[in-house]
Structure 1
Amino acid sequence: MLRLNKLLLIMLAAGSLAACSIEVDEQSSWTKEVVQDDANDDNTGGDDNTGGDDNTGGDDNTGGDDNTGGDDNTGGDDNSETVVFETSFEDGTESGWSAQGPVSLTTVQDAKDGVYALSASGRTAAWNAPGIVLTDKLTAAKTYKFSAWVKLSGTASADIKMTMKTSFDGADATYSGVTDAFAATDTDWVEVSGVYTYNPDGTVTEAFLYVEGPDAGVDYLIDQFVVTETDDLVEQGPQAIYLQSFDDGTVGDWTEQGGITIEAAADAKVGSHALKATGRSSGWNAPGIELVNTLTVGETYEFSFWVKLADKASAPIKASIKYSFDGADAKYGEVLAAVDATATDWVQLTGNYTVSAQDETAAVTGIFVYIESSDADVGYLIDDFMVMPATVEEQPVDNTPQATYSQSFDDGTVGDWTEQGGITIEAAADAKVGSHSLKATGRTSGWNAPGIELVNTLTVGETYEFSFWVKLADKASAPIKASIKYSFDGADAKYGEVLAAVDATDTDWVQLTGNYTVSAQDETAAVTGIFVYIESSDADVGYYIDDFIVMPAATND
């Protein structure tokens, strides 16, 4: 290698000579200046740095215009930030950075500023990433700004972000997003930055900050990494109330609803692992998480997660919720409406939901959120499940009334429904919504019907919207309607029609819906029963009932 070394430059400045050499590395095409002492003008002689015009005299850095007076960095323009850690890799080493998973870390002469940057290559999974231990640099409850410059190598574009893994003594590690994901390219350096409040919950054994995001096999460079403590009143986004990334290689506190298998799988949208649910045989079979000690009834939250199918080209996926009560039947709701998921791309479900006990006065003993599909046997992957407080701006003004009563039969039972006449009712794995419906068979008369006692739910004089879905079990067509029976103390029962008959079939689900005003029909005796039942004038037809809901009737306000 040819090297031009010690090219003497003579500079005449303030009556003194200074000599320096330029080293040129023709292979790397970068230049660094090496200052050399001059024998006749060294630091110990006449005009050296200890004499008249040196740095300790008149115009030196400790007098008049120095960095400690008037306009220095400790005076008026202080930006209230203190650097707690930084590295630019200019010493040509990895500067304490280490690999998370199989990653090759080296320094290369391709930098945002200066000469060197850190290169991460040879990654075999998205969670493989370079990182730095900051355990001794961060203080609990303090807020920090994180910044790094990144550039891809060999790939046109990919998202990159920073994540904090906090390990604890005697507890599972947690993972927190430090920055949003930024779109990086292989042509320009892009800054990845964010503000993060360090709030560990427990005795910390290690705080490990890593830079992750691109798919396996994508190489990238990092330069000018800086962490500053800030006293600025930076507006913080809400912190996650619950977050599960499954990146510790387990399913954490998630459990199975029904006879399914759940496991951590190395196929993730974010990080290294996702939850995989397989072996489903019914729509309600689903993985879920118990959040009764995390969520508050009446509060609104933003739910989000990513999903991808494991074994089918497409299927609907949604998030549902099951409320359990002390001494009362469970109730169900929809947290996030179904979206079409695929086996090729990750799809995000996100939206707000208000936790509601649905007018149940009994104590709430369980709030179980689960991810289900009406496709009974599809398997799927779930990643980055998060619950956040809903921001004020995102909270919708929702005047939609809550259900007065609802029954989906998705728990595999008929709940509190009973038989009117000698019939058989059971939960069947044939549903319009969810996994199960009620099936009524063995009828021998039109009034033989399944029904629900609502005397403690409905109010005489109030108007309600009733709705349910129906499909025949054993005939091509037959009429189905909803009727009501009022029972009284010391008086004969009276009957009414809640929803007029419609023609149902054995091929398609048909919805019956409409308003009905609860009326004692001029009876002055006390009402002791309000029994709503689903009947047919076809005496022996069998049928399915699903998603039976009673709502307060909408007003014209």
Structure 2
Amino acid sequence: MCLTAFCCRPKRRSSPSNLKSSPNPIERTEALANPQPSGSSFHASGSQELEDSLPSGSEQQKVRMSLCSLSGQSSNIVSNHDFSNGLESWHSNCCQSYVASENSNFVNGVKPLSGSNYAVVTQRTENWQGLEQDITDKVTVGVKYIVTVFVSVHGDFHGATGVQATLRLENLDASVSYVFIERILASQDCWKKLEGSFLLTSNPRRVVFYLEGPNPGVDLLIDSVAIACEKVGMTGSLAGQSTNIVSNHDFSNGLESWHPNCCQAYVTSGNSNFLNGVKPLSGDNYAVVMRRSENWQGLEQDITDKVTVGLKYNVTVFIAVHGDFHGTTGVQATLRLEKDSSFSYVFIERILVSQDCWKKLEGSFSLTSKPRRVIFYLEGPDPGIDILIDSVTIVCEEVITYRVSSNDGDTSSNDEHIVHNPQFEDGLNNWSGRGCKITLCSSLCNGKILPVKGKFFVAATERSHNWNGIEQEITGRFVRKRTYEVTALVQIFGHTNNADVRLTLWVQSPNGREQYIGIAKTQASDKEWVQLQGKFLLNGVASKAILFIEGPNPGIDILVDSIVVRRPIKAGSSVPPITEVGITLHKQ
């Protein structure tokens, strides 16, 4: 006798924009009046003409500095550079475009590199068709501008295709000329960095920056565009370095604060030293982890004094791999928790990476107790494969609405249950599956697994992600600034003997901000029920709150006998407050 429920998160899809611009005015050529060698520093009509027209010596330098300050020396002149405002300020050149902003709308599952969305240029019938922006009023004659664009492509083709940054100059005499900035080869499902520069020697009537290049039918994906008077590193916008707890996050100081784990590592610092020609993604260099003889070997950093129990930390790493292999290989971010005489490991996230291609790894973690040491490290590829690390960011969310509590001395209403139907006496009422199925069971394995407290327990099955499990919304059933104790009996079922199981509270604030509160975690067994226990206290207002159980790898079922949330019983002065997970085994 089984009752089953299934729940999935609703998907939202935004409709593509259908913006079009007027057709290209002329069939263009890439010949310039004073051609320069192609490369990342290509100047419109050269720079000698400008040198001759400017004052000499220190006066010339002052004029250059003045011109640079006029054009915004330390800021990006591109409006809506990351498409956070949709296609505002951008125009499709005889094609169509839209902004991918939700998981369901990402092209072939390609995730954004720097923000939460990217532009997709589609229905292209000519190589020159792409996305453009008018920058006439933002550029100054005689000023060198650095261009940085993160691009990808998608379509029915194999190998690589060219993507190019170009200026269209509409002159006062009604003629049109084109300035080549830079061209790179881009492959599918992989972000590439295009870097180049330009310098104007005269003021045209109109200056339009645009991206073009792939063959007709191939979509162009654009993550972000930066044009600045002098090179502006992308790391700040990519990773929020102002609150980054990682020391030397971009390896600008070599391997300072980093340590290779039973392998070797070095930092690239110039074009001649880049591995297989792979250029850095965010700064001027990256770390290479080499001579790896085991999967777990990689690069690590001690973050013990920078993390706090109960807070959620978001991790962002830009990585690539290199070696003698084909296809993809996994790279993983992990925490090693060192106690007095034992070790434990916290899985953060794992992604598949292909050769010579930067990928973004994103994950998060939260500690329920403070070990002696907390080590963050990267691992995963097969032995012999090098790990390339461009930058690492670990940022604490602005979580001030909860803490793992000590005894607050408030003992009224000890029997105040927050969770409805805590022992499943009413079947699956009030409960749902968080991205998976849940089934009401009276026994499993021919009676080897039986409920402990009541007549039934629930199995969370068909789990495809670690966060899948059983959940219940508890919005409006708790009081701010009051301590609550959560107790659950759990077990696992599947092709493993032990696995981590976590109690988590998801909270949404009135402004829409989401937070994940780690209440408790323990290692569950497939042979006996384990008690999972912890406390939480909310200081802020929550417009929505959901309590759920998660943790094991996909394919492992979570069995839950009961979940109870209530006010803690008052403890005597001689009893220490509960601050860590308590574990009690209930033998069958």
TM-score (normalised: structure 2): 0.33
Higher helix share: 2
Tell me which of the two structures has the higher relative contact order, counting C-alpha pairs closer than 8 angstroms and 6 or more residues apart: 2
- Greater strand share, structure number: 1
Give the TM-score normalised by structure 1: 0.35
